[in-house]
Structure 1
Amino acid sequence: MYVYAGCMTAEASPSLYLCEFHEEDGSLTLVNSYNDMSKTSYLVVDASRNILYVVGMDFENEGIAVSYIFNPDTKQLQLVSKQATLGKNPIYVSTDPDFTALFAANFTGGSIIALPLKPGGIMEDISCCISFEVHRIGFGSKNKSRPHSIVVDPTNRFVVVPDLGTDRLYIYEIDYAHHDLKLKQAIFVEPGSGPRHFLFHPTNHCAYMINEYSSTITIFTHDASQCVLETIQTVSTLPADFDEFNKCADIQLSACGKYVYGSNRGHDSIVQYRINEDGRLTYVGHVFSGGNKPRSMAVSPSGKYMLVANEGANHVASFAINQHTGELTPAGQLNLESSPICINFMI
């Protein structure tokens, strides 16, 4: 089983690593590395076709989306296609389940894009580019839109875009015929919270969002018929006695769907919550992330392990997941030359 880690680079260090994951003990070994980009911000895997889609920055600091095909015999990636994202610092990429469309969020550029995908991982020209307006708020975003993720809903009809800079959630309907996005609704969330990453629960009709600036997780009910979201709870990602600087990064579900995990950069921990029958959360505990600035997380296909990309420590930490309690126990780490900021299994 393979794992991809995207990184911020230093000098000539790689921005993308291919690693092998060993399910028997949760360890990782390095297989190959690539320096085609100056920064690999986020990635999504089409495992059935051995295709990898990534977004990041080229060596001129322009935003790009790149697709690769993986050869399992040689354990090598081959470049398939490349497209400019029409915006600075693309920070998130996603696709529909059938891999017919790609969606990306340009963080610094304040925009989102959509483009058609063809067989073999070929990306066609961008079909939709939406630039957000500058709105009010005086927090770290400096009054600018900062879309930080773009997530396809369970019906594959909508995408949800958390805008960290303006404390809004944008919901767009997907027009697959034209590979276009049509605004359905803009939702205001708590001022200064900095909505960042978002996920839908597969079975309980709820959704969960981690907020970077307020160090909280917001829980929504989700009416799938029209992608209607209603806030029902907000919980902290930090211990009650912690009052130092912190910014949240990623949010993940356990494979069983019973637990939510969030990463804290500052407290340098992973927080765990149990999901109740009504979708609300009950606190379980914290575990040290294994290094500073834990950013991205990924749960193994079996649900037995979690990987954490510790950006500030230049390594990926592995944790065993207790199958009865969801608690995390350190299982090892893989040191890298670069700073890992995104990670995903090839499943």
Structure 2
Amino acid sequence: MKHSDINMVTGYLGTYSSPLSEGIYRFTLNKDTGILSGPELFYRLPDCKYLSLYNNLLAAPVKSGDEAGMSLLDIGGGEPSLASKIYEEETTACFVTQDGDFIYSANYHQGIVLIYKKTDGGLILYKRIDIAPGAGCHQILFHEHYMLVPCLLKDEIRIFDRSRDYCPAGSIFFQSGTGPRHGIFTKDHRYLFVVSELSNELYVYRVESGIRMTMLSVTPLLTQEQTKQSLQSPASAAIRFSPDERHLYVSTRFTEIISVFQVQEGQVQLIQQTGSGGIHPRDFVLTENGAYLLAVNRTEGGLVCFPVDPDSGMIGPECSRIPAPEAVSIVLNEA
């Protein structure tokens, strides 16, 4: 699969282990037409359910027997080369992010955050932060010199001070049964938006200073009728901004929808709810120009590309789709 055309974008899918999936898959998107091509198996890696791409280094969880940990692939040459692999976990992490020096993983089942350091000799374990078994650690966010960890099953976001060796620095608390899953800061870090998996709500906070925040609003993502009609308890998942941050997008599984919000100075207004094109939309991304939204449906429907009106933020009818069994994470390489 060659990608020399300047109108083509390469993307990668992380998957759950299953007879239908073998690891990381690669696909392409035509930025002019919205047509998807592929996928092809890019690298065999069991249970690589979240991906992080940074400067041609692709990080993903890995599992081998009773061990789990982190893998780092160099994809700078177009094809994957294993840069390092390390086993320090019992179950695979559900979230991974990285910067130039470190890889950070949130482990839902073990209730831990692990920080791996990139060295010339490979990955080494730099720091282990034990929160609580079964805490449901689901993401890692950074704000100034703080690290925030949404703990879905503890109904709080734990905060750690990176300038003080990651010592505890406080929490953002939620009502029992809320299940904060993922959050996103505006680029200027004046506002924090948090989506809850269990209560299916959108929380908006204004950042006052440091980690002091004021909650501005709580907006239900679903009506009572939508919840009643769902065959399983609805579970909101991913949250993303449009490139200009005028619109916010949230996926909800088991109602199989993507909600679109208009955003202005921390105020949100629901303007659209549309189908994800399949079943179990755990993740999605928008292209850098905001022209397309790509939704990953784990159970049925595969990877679906939708056009987006950059001005209104509204999602249009699908452009194309490709198979993506058990895919639950997506990254685009638009560099």
Same fold (TM over 0.5): yes
Letter in 1 for 2:309: N
Structure 1 unmatched ranges of 5 or more: 135-143
Moved runs in structure 1, 4+ residues, more than 4 A? none
TM-score where L is the length of structure 2? 0.90
Distance in 2 of aligned mates of 1:87 and 1:171: 24
Call closer, same or farther: CA 1:152–1:320 in 2, change over 3 Å. Answer: same
Distance in 1 of aligned mates of 2:306 and 2:11: 15
- 1:4-33 deviation per Cα after TM superposition (whole angstroms, max 9, x unaligned): 110113226322111112101122212631
Q: How does 1:1-347 map to 2 (within 5 A)?
A: 1-11=9-19, 13-30=21-38, 32-34=40-42, 36-46=44-54, 49-55=55-61, 57-72=62-77, 75-96=78-99, 99-118=100-119, 123-133=122-132, 144-153=134-143, 155=144, 157-175=145-163, 180-203=165-188, 205-223=190-208, 225-242=209-226, 243=228, 244=230, 245-277=233-265, 279-313=266-300, 315-329=302-316, 330-336=318-324, 338-347=325-334
Call closer, same or farther: CA 1:234–1:37 in 2, change over 3 Å. Answer: same
Call closer, same or farther: CA 1:274–1:204 in 2, change over 3 Å. Answer: farther
Structure 2 unmatched ranges of 5 or more: 1-8
Letter in 2 for 1:152: F
Aligned partner of residue 299 in structure 2, secondary structure? helix
Call closer, same or farther: CA 1:165–1:204 in 2, change over 3 Å. Answer: closer
Call closer, same or farther: CA 1:12–1:216 in 2, change over 3 Å. Answer: closer
Distance in 2 of aligned mates of 1:203 and 1:127: 29
Matched-pair identity in %: 19
Call closer, same or farther: CA 1:298–1:43 in 2, change over 3 Å. Answer: same
- 1:132-161 deviation per Cα after TM superposition (whole angstroms, max 9, x unaligned): 236xxxxxxxxx3110111122x3x22110
Preserved CA contact (<8 Å) 2:35 2:305: yes
Further displaced range: 197-206 or 251-260: 197-206
Aligned partner of residue 32 in structure 2, secondary structure? coil
Aligned partner of residue 13 in structure 1, secondary structure? coil
Letter in 2 for 1:149: Q
Distance in 2 of aligned mates of 1:252 and 1:67: 25
Preserved CA contact (<8 Å) 2:21 2:326: no
Letter in 2 for 1:67: L
Equivalent residue for 2:4?
none
1:168, CA displacement in angstroms? Answer: 0.9
Call closer, same or farther: CA 1:123–1:252 in 2, change over 3 Å. Answer: farther
Alpha-carbon RMSD: 1.9
Call closer, same or farther: CA 1:317–1:21 in 2, change over 3 Å. Answer: same
Call closer, same or farther: CA 1:314–1:84 in 2, change over 3 Å. Answer: farther
1:230, CA displacement in angstroms? Answer: 2.5
Distance in 2 of aligned mates of 1:319 and 1:345: 15
Letter in 2 for 1:104: S
Letter in 1 for 2:300: A
